[in-house]
């Protein structure tokens, strides 16, 4: 027979588990800044991870390279992630690699998407017929302007970054990787590196891949990662071949296909240390 006391204990135990599951996971100095865009007017934030010591008086003249990442909600904290309660652990990974001297201190800018419903509209330059519900009017063609004419100037005004393309890396996953690739194609010489995880490049009969085939100017280094469980392995191999044909050798192109890995933040987080070390292994 359940008594009031046993019911209370059961409730408290369940509440404790729920609270533990909701425990936020951000580490380091993360600023969350409201950002207003004329291109994509949906409310959003920029999540700016600052390096250790950034605010110390002795660091006031120091400037840092920048990693810009799409889907900012999913990068740092399980309390804000949009899918499956997983996050990239970007803050923990950058902190660990910097402390170990494997990468130099950097600023990371997580760029929020406009929300679950608006994400395809913002990140798809072309119609994806596999999407449910379908997005008939994607606006991803506006994304390079949103990023380079709004976000980047805002960051360079408000934070001590090293300005210019040579100190700028862009990344994302899935649709976020596809639109990062699109931005690099449409705005050549705007980025020093690309970080592409499980890139979605199949929309409108692989139009993005066809545009990549006609592109001759690429960032200095490109990292591409994917798994083998319901992942775009064949598409990644096609993109790899196009980049190799464009002249990117092993010093500029790093492709990882992880056996048994799936399409989620868990696996992108697992591959992240190698990606960051490849992209930031030499002074920027």
Is the pLDDT confidence value at 20 over 50? no
Per residue in 155-164, pLDDT (tens digit) is 999 999 999 9
Supply the mean pLDDT for the chain: 93
Question: Up-side HSE of residue 98: CA atoms within 13 Å toward CB?
Answer: 18
Predicted confidence at residue 282, as pLDDT, reads 66
pTM of the model: 0.92
What tokens were used for 177?
A: 């990787």
Mean pLDDT of 4-10: 40
Alpha helices, DSSP H, located in the chain: 4-21, 90-99, 119-123, 143-145, 152-158, 175-186, 203-213, 233-245, 265-279
Please determine, for residue 199, whether its predicted confidence score (pLDDT) is greater than 80. Answer: yes
**134, pLDDT greater than 50:** yes
**Residue 256: inside a domain:** yes
7 belongs to a structural domain: no
Contacts of 192 (CB under 8 A, 6+ apart): 65, 165, 166, 167, 168, 169, 219, 220, 221, 284
- 262 neighbors 174 (Cβ within 8 angstroms): no
Helix (H, G, I), strand (E, B) or coil at 273: helix
In a domain, 13, yes or no: no
- State the pLDDT at residue 136: 97
| Residue 3 belongs to a domain | no
* Residue 283: per-residue pLDDT: 63
> Does residue 11 lie in a domain region?
no
Give how many domains the chain has, as a whole number.
1
- The CATH number given to whatever domain includes residue 236 is 3.40.50.1820
Q: Is 47 part of any domain?
A: yes
Distance CA 163, CA 172 (A): 21
Range of the domain at 74: 22-279
Q: Residues for the chain: how many in total? A: 284
Tell me, what's the pLDDT at 84? 82
Q: Output the CA torsion sign for 38, 76, 179, 282.
A: positive
């Amino acid at each position: 027979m359940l008594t009031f006391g046993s019911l209370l204990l059961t409730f408290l135990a369940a509440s404790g588990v729920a609270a533990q599951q909701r425990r936020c996971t951000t580490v380091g100095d993360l600023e969350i800044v409201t950002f207003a865009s004329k291109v994509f007017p949906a409310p959003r934030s920029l999540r700016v991870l600052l390096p250790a010591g950034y605010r110390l008086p002795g660091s006031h003249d120091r400037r840092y390279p920048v990693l810009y990442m799409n889907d900012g909600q999913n990068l740092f904290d399980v309390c804000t992630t949009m899918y499956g309660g997983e996050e990239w652990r970007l803050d923990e990974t950058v902190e660990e690699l910097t402390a170990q001297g494997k990468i130099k201190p950097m600023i990371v800018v997580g760029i929020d998407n406009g929300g679950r419903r608006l994400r395809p509209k913002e990140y798809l330059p072309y119609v994806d017929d596999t999407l449910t519900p379908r997005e008939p009017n994607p606006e991803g063609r506006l994304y390079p302007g949103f990023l380079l004419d709004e976000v980047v100037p805002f960051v360079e005004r408000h934070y001590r970054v090293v300005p210019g393309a040579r100190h700028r890396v862009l990344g994302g996953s899935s649709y976020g990787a596809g639109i990062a690739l699109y931005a690099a194609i449409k705005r050549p010489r705007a980025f020093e590196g690309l970080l592409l995880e499980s890139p979605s490049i199949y929309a409108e009969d692989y139009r993005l891949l066809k545009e990549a085939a006609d592109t001759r100017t690429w960032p200095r280094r490109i990292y591409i990662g994917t798994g083998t469980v319901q992942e775009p392995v064949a598409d990644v191999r096609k993109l790899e071949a196009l980049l190799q044909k464009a002249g990117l050798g092993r010093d500029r192109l790093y492709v990882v296909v992880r056996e048994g890995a799936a399409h989620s933040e868990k696996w992108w987080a697992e591959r992240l240390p190698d990606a960051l070390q490849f992209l930031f292994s030499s002074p920027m």
